[in-house]
Amino acid sequence: MKSFDLRETLIPFSMLQVVNHFAKMKIGDEMEIIGDDAEIYQDIKSILPVSVYEFVSEEFEIPRHGEFRIILRKIKMTTPKHKGEPLCLKI
C-alpha cells in the first residue's frame, strides 16, 4: 500500500502525486493519505470520482489536533469519456 504524508507539503504538487498514483492503481489496491488540514480531505473527495473508490478507514485528529488518516480502496477503473480527458479529475 502506497502512503502519502501531506503534512507540511506543497499541496498542489502533493495532490497531483496522489491523483497520478490513483490512476495507476488496480482494482482492490489501497492508498493511505495522512494530512493536517481539513481542506486537503475535502480536496481529495472532490478530485477523485466517488464512484471509483471506497473508504476503508477514516481517522480524524490523530495524534495531533486537526490531523487525519484515510485509506482508500480502488473499486472501479476510471476511463476517460473523450480522448485526452484526465482519468480521475472532475471537470
Range of the domain at 67: 2-74
Q: Is residue 85 part of a domain?
A: no
* pLDDT interval class at 79 (50, 70, 90): low
Q: Is residue 87 part of a domain?
A: no
The string of pLDDT tens digits covering residues 21-40 is 999 999 999 999 998 887 88
Q: Which pLDDT score is estimated for 90? A: 46
CATH number of the domain within which 11 lies:
3.30.110.40
Q: What percent of the chain has pLDDT over 90?
A: 40
Q: Is residue 8 part of a domain?
A: yes
Residue labelled with grid coordinates 464512484: 51
Rounded to two decimals, what is the model's pTM?
0.76
- Count of structural domains, the chain: 1
CA dihedral 41, 46, 48, 53 (to 10 degrees): 70
Task: Give 66's strand partners.
Answer: none
Q: Is residue 89 part of a domain?
A: no
